[in-house]
Structure 1
Amino acid sequence: MLSEAMTALAAAGGTALVQAAGTDAWTEFRQQVARWFGRGNPQRENAAVGRLDQTAVLLETAGPTEVERVRLGQVAAWQARIEDLLESLDGTEQGQAAEELRALLAQHASQGEGSAGQGGLAVGGDYGSVAAGVVHGNVTLGRPADGHTSPGPENDPDDDWPRES
């Protein structure tokens, strides 16, 4: 049985893999993860590449109504694979593999890749906080070109929210 920290690492790994699939960072990240799974064995590395490619295809071809279910299923599958590999190693090897995976995930995160499925929003980089949501329609960021501004809370006649003065 894995420690809580190892289980959390496996969960982070599964999430990172699924989020990276289909992004610009995928090819390099995929190869690094396959090498991690292979642990020096070319057959295991090739098998991991095949599973990683299958994940990317499943996510890419999932329809709008099934994409979240597929995404969650793939995160769980990769978490389980990572846990299985870590459990198969003895104490020293397990610690080394965990450190390698942490470094791999940190390197991937530092590249500032953001990704999202259909209708989603993701932000990557060194940010203090991130908000995300589903947007239906167009989104414009910045000041409108025509100079029009929306009324703020201080001058909105329909806003009856109590304020401190």
Structure 2
Amino acid sequence: MVAEWIVALATAGGSELVGARGTADWKAVRARFARLLARGDESRVVGEIERFDAEASSLARVDAALRPRLGMAVEYTWQVRLVALLEDHPDAASDLCTLLLAAHDPVTVRSESMPFAPSP
């Protein structure tokens, strides 16, 4: 069973990533997520950015009536990917928290089993 704190953090991350598409912050947000997912492998950063851009482009081209449903599917896909990242690399949690805090006003995630304390 996936820890509650992982699901909460991955959900926030997936929402942030998909919600940033089409905004002035898109390039900065996608670059931060690409670095997070690449885990220090600079050769993977470009591939992650290309994947984000391809998905954003697909969402922009789809019929407006279908866009919310497809957006939810893409968001869920990124949430699942972030869950896998956090399960494999629990140390990535503080990086994801920092990324989310940089994008918004602070958000409190409460869990009795959270194994880290995000820095402000």
2:85, 2:92 within 8 Å by CA — same for their partners in 1? Answer: no
Structure number, greater radius of gyration = 1
TM-score (structure 2 length as normaliser): 0.81
> Aligned partners of 1:31 and 1:75: how far apart in 2?
17
Specify the alignment match of 2:62 in structure 1: 62
Q: Structure 2: 5+ residue runs without aligned partners?
A: 106-120
TM-superposed CA distance for 1:45, in Å, is 1.7
Which contiguous aligned blocks of 4+ residues in structure 1 show a shift greater than 6 angstroms? none
What SS does the corresponding residue of 1:65 show, helix, strand or coil?
coil
* Number of equivalences: 105
What SS does the corresponding residue of 1:104 show, helix, strand or coil?
helix
Specify the alignment match of 2:95 in structure 1: 100
Specify the alignment match of 1:152 in structure 2: none
> Aligned partners of 2:59 and 2:23: how far apart in 1?
12
TM-score (structure 1 length as normaliser): 0.60
TM-superposed CA distance for 1:24, in Å, is 0.1
> Aligned partners of 2:31 and 2:84: how far apart in 1?
19
Encode CA deviations 1:111-142: one digit per residue, 9 max, x unaligned: xxxxxxxxxxxxxxxxxxxxxxxxxxxxxxxx
1:58, 1:70 within 8 Å by CA — same for their partners in 2? Answer: no
- Trace 1:65-144 onto structure 2 (pairs within 5 A): 65-89=65-89, 94=90, 96-110=91-105
1:21, 1:56 within 8 Å by CA — same for their partners in 2? Answer: yes
Root-mean-square deviation over aligned CA pairs: 1.3
Query: Which amino acid counterpart does residue 97 of structure 2 have in structure 1?
Result: R
> Aligned partners of 2:75 and 2:29: how far apart in 1?
16
- Trace 1:150-161 onto structure 2 (pairs within 5 A): none
Percent identical residues: 34
TM-superposed CA distance for 1:75, in Å, is 0.6
Q: Structure 1: 5+ residue runs without aligned partners?
A: 111-165
Specify the alignment match of 2:118 in structure 1: none
Which one scores higher on RCO, CA 8 angstroms, separation ≥ 6? Answer: 2
> Aligned partners of 1:40 and 1:13: how far apart in 2?
19
